[in-house]
């Protein structure tokens, strides 16, 4: 049973530094034994019973640590947390992880929209730790970090042998402190080094402005992430500005790393009066569908959606739904490609387990894992583009309101 206070969350397993994981099911597990058990008896209670693995070796290492380690004051809780982290890391899935209570608190603060860090999302792309997107005006963006940059080191520590959460924990930290990143940018022979000071960051997920283009009055709606309040913010701001009386909508999801699944459904439902938005398929092939939630007060408006390589998870769900349903034209470049679903459970001691449990598909059954979504109109930004010149937005506005 999902705790009604918590939500299902899509996003990208990173942190803002942000950490969203598409379709993250959030629940509370209060399972706790009233009596401590020995490691051996705990292993005997595993279900299903272990096979093909020598668990006596685990017991042997545990006993040797306690009997031979030079420091007699061994912290059993720290050992268990290390074992739990290693157990989940053994899956080889960058989006599954065990978080200590402290790390879990930071993760939950970040997905709520307020955190201390650099203001960027990271994930795995081609087996490399990659910048999904820096947030607008964030320390990362101001430093010149871009979507697609590959992180090589954090404070001179090689990230190739680190889990994604270990990389995230190394980057984030107290505001006012600095972290040094070595980054490889595509097409450049030598890595770049960035020293960036962490800040407290609050994410305003929705901004709307009115644009006049070729005699038409258009709404330019930018969503930077799908946090707990994005759907409500979109509806409230759109109605306040009278978007329903405008000639069209430009929905800008570029560099949007994702967020809560219910918010992605709510946002898509603003434009789709009915129909499938996203489907999930679990390990047994069981399919769960999520349909438009109603109250599509912009259902009659022409919509163009801007996407790029920083558009991930929840933003890909919205983009895929609008594209597959024919409600929106996608303009920009290939999206990131985050199509897995994580189950996020808070355990009795405040720690948490994030585990990949399913894949998600667009309404037409497309899996976007790794390859992402291809826009209807591919518009790349040339290397010689002038500062402040937004070629993708210009093409999108032309598509919304062609010259007479």
Is 351 among the residues known to form the active site?
A: no
Measured between its terminal Cα atoms, the distance across the chain in Å is 56
Of the listed 224, 313, 340, 351, which one is catalytic? Answer: 313
CA dihedral 278, 284, 286, 290 (to 10 degrees): -30
Q: In angstroms, rounded to a whole number, what is the distance separating the alpha carbons of residues 303 and 399?
A: 9
DSSP 91: T
Q: Distance from CA of residue 34 to its chain's centroid?
A: 36
Active-site residue, from 338, 343, 351, 352: 338
- Which of these is catalytic: 256, 262, 324, 343? 324
Give the three-state DSSP class for 386.
coil
Contacts of 231 (CB under 8 A, 6+ apart): 262, 263, 266, 267, 270
CA angle 239, 270, 133 (to 5 degrees): 100
Q: What is the DSSP string of 137-154?
A: TSHHHHHT--TTPEEEEE
With CA atoms as reference, report the closest residue to 181 among 159, 151, 201.
Answer: 151
DSSP letter for each residue of 42-61: HHHT-SSPP-SS-HHHHHHH
The answer to whether 34 is a known catalytic residue is no
**Active-site annotation holds for 324:** yes
What is the length of the chain? 404
Residues labelled as active-site residues: 313, 324, 338
């Amino acid at each position: 049973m999902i705790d009604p206070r918590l939500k299902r969350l899509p996003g990208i397993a990173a942190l803002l530094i942000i950490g969203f994981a598409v379709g993250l099911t959030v629940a509370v597990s209060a399972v706790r034994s009233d009596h401590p058990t020995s490691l051996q008896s705990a292993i005997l209670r595993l279900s299903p019973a272990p096979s093909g693995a020598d668990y006596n070796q685990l017991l042997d290492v545990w006993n040797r640590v306690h009997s031979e380690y030079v420091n007699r004051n061994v912290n059993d809780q720290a050992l268990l947390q290390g074992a739990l982290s290693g157990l989940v890391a053994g899956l080889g899935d960058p989006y599954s992880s065990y978080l200590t209570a402290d790390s879990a608190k930071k993760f939950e603060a970040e997905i709520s929209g307020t955190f201390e860090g650099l203001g960027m999302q990271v994930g795995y792309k081609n087996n490399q730790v990659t910048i999904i997107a820096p947030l607008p005006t964030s320390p990362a963006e101001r430093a010149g970090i871009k979507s697609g940059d590959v992180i090589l080191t954090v404070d001179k520590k090689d990230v190739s042998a680190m889990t994604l959460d270990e990389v995230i924990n190394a980057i984030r930290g107290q505001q006012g402190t600095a972290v040094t990143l070595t980054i490889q940018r595509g097409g450049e022979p030598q890595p770049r080094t960035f020293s960036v000071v962490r800040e407290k960051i609050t994410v305003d997920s929705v901004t709307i402005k009115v644009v006049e283009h070729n005699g038409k009055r258009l709404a330019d709606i930018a969503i930077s992430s799908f946090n707990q309040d994005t759907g409500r913010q979109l509806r409230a701001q759109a109605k306040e500005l009278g978007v329903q009386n405008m000639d069209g909508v430009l929905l800008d999801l570029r560099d949007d790393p994702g967020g809560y699944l219910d918010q992605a459904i709510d946002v898509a439902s603003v434009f789709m009066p009915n129909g499938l938005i996203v489907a999930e398929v679990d390990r047994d092939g069981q399919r769960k569908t999520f349909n438009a939630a109603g109250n599509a007060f912009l259902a009659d408006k022409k919509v163009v959606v801007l996407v790029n390589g920083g558009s991930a998870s929840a933003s890909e769900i919205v983009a895929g739904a609008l594209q597959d349903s024919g409600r929106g034209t996608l303009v920009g470049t290939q999206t990131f490609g985050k199509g897995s679903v994580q189950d996020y459970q808070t355990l009795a001691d405040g720690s948490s387990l994030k585990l990949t449990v399913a894949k998600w598909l667009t309404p037409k059954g497309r899996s976007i894992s790794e390859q992402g979504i291809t826009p209807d109109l591919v518009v790349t930004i040339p290397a010689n583009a002038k500062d402040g010149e937004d070629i993708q937005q210009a093409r999108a506005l032309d598509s919304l309101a062609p010259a007479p």
